[in-house]
Chain A
Amino acid sequence: MTSVIETHKLCKWYGDVLGLNDVSLKIESGITGLLGPNGAGKSTLLKLITGQLKPNIGTIMVAGEKVRNNYSLFSKIGFCPEQDSFYEEMTGLQFISGLLRLNHYPFPEAQIRAKKALEIVELVDEEDRVLRSYSRGMRQRLKFAQAVAHDPEIIILDEPLNGIDPLAKRKLIRLIKDYRDKGKTIIVSSHVLPEIEAMTRRVILIHQGKIFAQGDIHYIRDLIDSHPHIISVKCSDPRGLAEKLIKEECILKINFGSSKGSLLIETNNRDRFFGVIPFLVVENDMEVYEITSPDDNLQAVFDYLIGK
């Protein structure tokens, strides 16, 4: 499969601060998730890909062309920025149609496309309201609308699901998948793993300006699974449960938690553990009050990957 976006040994400094370090990527068509904690370098990478910043070292090729100051390439790119900024005195329709005019669409066509884009994100009823009065979620959807209004081949979305309610999130995710089915190349950045998981299996993990992992999400999960997980269980008979669990091969260590009735279980196979525990609980007639995973977050994933 030919890559749509290629970067080679990309580095970017902000003064003394290293934003990106030796990033070499090949991104193919479909949805690619760009995952990393805040300050990892996701926005820097996306700004370099969209030509907003000039790399200090390295090259970027988008659709086989260099991107920096290659403005004709932008008719193929749609970018949804992270910042919440607009021309506040415009209405939603004026904003999108105005930007479409900058894509060289004549006025009548720009109006039609703008209305269509607003329809896609369900903002048609608010098209004549000034942007100043839009809510956070509406503004986020509007940003997405302006990114797709000119039907680009490459769609780059920087934290598109920030500030959106769960229902709107699901709709937007479905929309992104629809664009993938149309053959578009989409890069979505986020710091929330389940959001990315809902859209794609292909991810790039970035941390402190470096790419830590790239590929299928299950591959990354396997990496996680090879490191011990800690799971907390609160039940009516912690000692009894511990006695049963200790016999399982996937259990590495069991500690008694500080609060009454809690166990801290260390396992190297989470899936196996969650398969076993229901049987044990039912078999021994126990009551389980709570099961949580104190280290089931992105930071823990990265901690494991970078060897902390």
Chain B
Amino acid sequence: MCKKNKVGIQFFLQSINDVFCFFFDLGKRAKKTRIFYLISFLPVMMALLIKFLQPFYSNRNIEDPYIFSNMIMVFYLQFLILILSLFFGTSVCSEEIEGKTLIYLITRPISKASIIIGKYGAYMVLVILMTVIGVFLSFMILNINNLLDFSIYKVLLRDVSVLILGIICYSAFFTFIGTFIKRSILFGLIFSFGWENVIQYFPGSTQRFTIAHYLKSLLPSASSTRFSFLLFRLEPTSPRVAVLILIILTAIFLAIACLLFTVKDYILED
């Protein structure tokens, strides 16, 4: 029985690997990936522009690390990773249904759960690569005068880790949404820029009903005298608990997505 389970798990992991390779390969060459790479490089362009304009505004004494942490990072956290996760997360299931290519996957000797997890994994790697490269480049540009100060790399590592956690959790949520809602993009936009933005401003435990709350709990709070429009009224959760909750949420969303995908009948409209 134990051996049978081992073989079963091995087979499941092998299926996930095969699906991952298939969609990573497909995703690498897809036109949409190139477009989203360009979009994820917009903060790099912003950083370049800021650096270019800074000599003309020498009276404005704002440090580069501050610009990176409170503007570029906030842009990534509150906008870019949401858009990327929304698009790629919902694509895990919706793309196959809309493109009617689902047939090719569900008539292969692979479990439906492995399709979800494998494709999710492939898209996650692509999105994380897009984001990390952009963050790294914009960080380098903005901290060009302090590159030999190794303490700044701790900040970079922390910020990149938070973004990666955010991508993983948001994408899992949107993958789950994509398995049962037809207009998942619209729902995702309302969730990302409606719910996630509005509820954070509520006091007490209400904030804990957003993913953004746990991500921001992992970042140091900005001082109230500074430009910190998005950290208003944050009552942070402890970092360890925040990471644990994000991981648990990811697992739950993926598990429900796999379950729904397995039991649901998807009728591909002609």
**Interface of A with B (CB < 8 Å)?**
14, 50-54, 69, 71-75, 77, 79, 81, 83, 85-87, 89-90, 94, 98-99, 101-104, 146
The interface on chain B, measured as residues whose beta carbon lies within 8 A of the other chain's beta carbons, has a size of 29
Q: Are B18 and A50 in contact (CB under 8 A)?
A: no
Can you identify 30 A-B contacts, CB atoms within 8 angstroms? A50-B107, A51-B107, A52-B106, A52-B107, A53-B265, A53-B267, A71-B108, A71-B111, A72-B109, A74-B110, A75-B109, A77-B107, A79-B103, A81-B103, A83-B103, A83-B268, A85-B103, A87-B26, A87-B99, A89-B26, A89-B30, A89-B31, A90-B29, A94-B25, A98-B22, A99-B22, A102-B22, A104-B14, A104-B18, A104-B109
Residues of B within 8 A of A52 (CB): 103, 106-107, 265
A151 to chain B, nearest CB (A): 13
Question: Is B104 interfacial (CB 8 A cutoff)?
Answer: yes
CB distance from B106 to the nearest CB of A (A): 6
For residue B100, CB closer than 8 A to chain A, the reply is: yes
Q: Which residues of B contact A (CB under 8 A)?
A: 14-15, 18-19, 21-22, 25-26, 29-31, 99-101, 103-112, 262, 265, 267-268, 270
Question: Is A98 touching B26 in the complex (CB atoms < 8 A)?
Answer: yes
For A102, the chain B residues whose CB sits under 8 A away are 15, 18-19, 22, 105, 108-110
A71 close to B103 (CB less than 8 A): no
- Also in contact, A101 and B22, with CB within 8 A (given A54-B265, A79-B103, A87-B101): yes
Cβ-Cβ contact count across A and B, 8 Å cutoff:
75
For A94, the chain B residues whose CB sits under 8 A away are 25
Report B11 CB to chain A, min CB distance, Å: 8
- The answer on a CB contact under 8 Å between A83 and B270 is yes
Q: Which of B25, B99, B107 contacts A98 (CB 8 A)?
A: B25
B27 and chain A: residue at smallest CB distance: A89
Q: In the complex, A86→B21 CA distance in Å?
A: 18
Q: How far is the CB of B259 from chain A (nearest CB, A)?
A: 12
**B26, A73: Cβ atoms closer than 8 Å:** no
Complex contact A79–B265 (CB within 8 A): no
CA distance A77 to B104 in the complex (A): 12
Q: In the complex, what distance in Å separates the CA atom of A156 from the CA atom of B113?
A: 24
